Structure 1
Amino acid sequence: MMVLDFKLGFSSVIKGKTLIMYRSVSSGTCSNLPGWFSRMILVIGLVCLFMIGTTATSATTYASSASGKPGGNVADPTVRAVDAAEPAVVRIITTLGGHLTVNFSRTSSVTFPQGTGNSYGLQLSGSGTFITAHGDILTADHVINPPHDQALSQYLDDSAAKDVATYINLNAKSGSQVSVDQVDQELKGGQLASTPNYDPATSEVYLNTTYTGPLTAADFSSLPFQIHAAVDHIEKESSFNERDVAIIHVNMNDMASVQLGDSGSVQQQDQLTIIGFPGNGD
């Protein structure tokens, strides 16, 4: 009876010494193993290693391909949820008219823009999400009711600075002229005392291009009327200083929507995923 014992290894370097591939053979009745047999074993081993390497490479390529898709890593349940919700995301453009009264002296003040019924159209952008198929949208209250804070006041200063500079230069007695930038800085710094006033805000909702398909337009006013609608009423709201949340309504039906969860079911140590403003998702 012939008993064979084979050991195969690979060349490597350990502490400066080279370990070469080796073979030990023990035989009960024969003293030498044919050379072709050992070569066959070596070839089989190399083929197995090649197959293992190919399988690992294929798995890596697949993962890379998945993470390279527009929606991100589709194996991530959060990414899949965002992809499913994206068509329900909308852009909300809120417009309010601004008026700036500049006090040039104790007895002289002028409101800009001059002329009855004129105002500076201040536009602010935000986002929201359809929560029903019948036009109900969840958004932040500050998106539809911009707070009359310093940021909005500076926006109005920027809009009015050119008209204020023109007025000052036309009425200057000394002949000195002021620039628009100079007036803008003096309005913001308080050297030119002024008081802002705002008209009621109105909001327009624009559908997601994931829902409508690609669009080509020079500006918002050039978009087809079917893909946007005015907010006709506010159903519920909590002010910016409280919860800063609102549910608004537009006259649209059969819309993609997301289902709201119950925040009362959330417990300590539950894993939460927080998703902020979706960027170009709308």
Structure 2
Amino acid sequence: MFYHDDELQYEVEVEEPNPKFAKMLQQAIGGAEGEMRVALQYMFQAFAVPAEKSEYRRLLMETATEELGHIEMLATAVAKNLQGASDEQREAAREDAVIAEMMDSGQPRQALSAGLHAMPVDSNGTPFNGGCVVASGNLAADMYANVMAESTGRLLATRLYEITDDPGMEDMLSYLIARDTMHQNQWHAALETMDDHVPVPNSFPQEKENQDHNYEFMSTYRDEQPDPEERWTQGESVDGNGEFSYGEQPGGGEPDLDEVIEAMHNEIN
């Protein structure tokens, strides 16, 4: 069950509206690093958490709901950057050839389809793709995916921060960056509560793995190369269940395919 409040999670002010920056902010909404991705990712992960792991469900659902608030903040920022831009600002932007091209071919749908508001798309205008949502049903795997999601999200927010010089946008992005810091840390903390979760999934019996190659760094050079003697080629494995080694691809002979079935019509005439 969800409840809505008209108040923004954090204030959004734009002192100098900038339509170019509005397009960039779209990446933080509907991009692969954006808030739609993490909101849905955490939500669908929470849906799969069993009753006996309710603490993780709450962690995921509370964060997913927070991320919905971030979408609302960014959508507000996009609208304020678009609707408040003067004709002089729009024309001044065209003095730069690169910016002029962005203005002409970037996201006309923000005006044509959305009336100068945000859309569920990335900075190129590509609709959000749920295929980037990771919800595997395995808590450990999902937490690692969440660390990556928050890392790339924080990276995007810091890049946007460096691009803008608007004090209001800097303040909003500073808040979002801070939340990304917390979320990275909370997913790491959640992983620390899970005993013996590496390798993921830890429920698969490791004795069924190929014991010759399960801790071997495999060189793919054609010519034999010496062991570089790095942390990942020697010494104890990170999970403590083996020893790293260095080797080459074992080789499996030429492909020997069976004849295809007639119904596929793959014959060569």
Report the TM-score when normalising by structure 2: 0.20
Q: More helix by proportion, 1 or 2? A: 2
Q: Which has the larger radius of gyration?
A: 1
Q: More strand by proportion, 1 or 2? A: 1
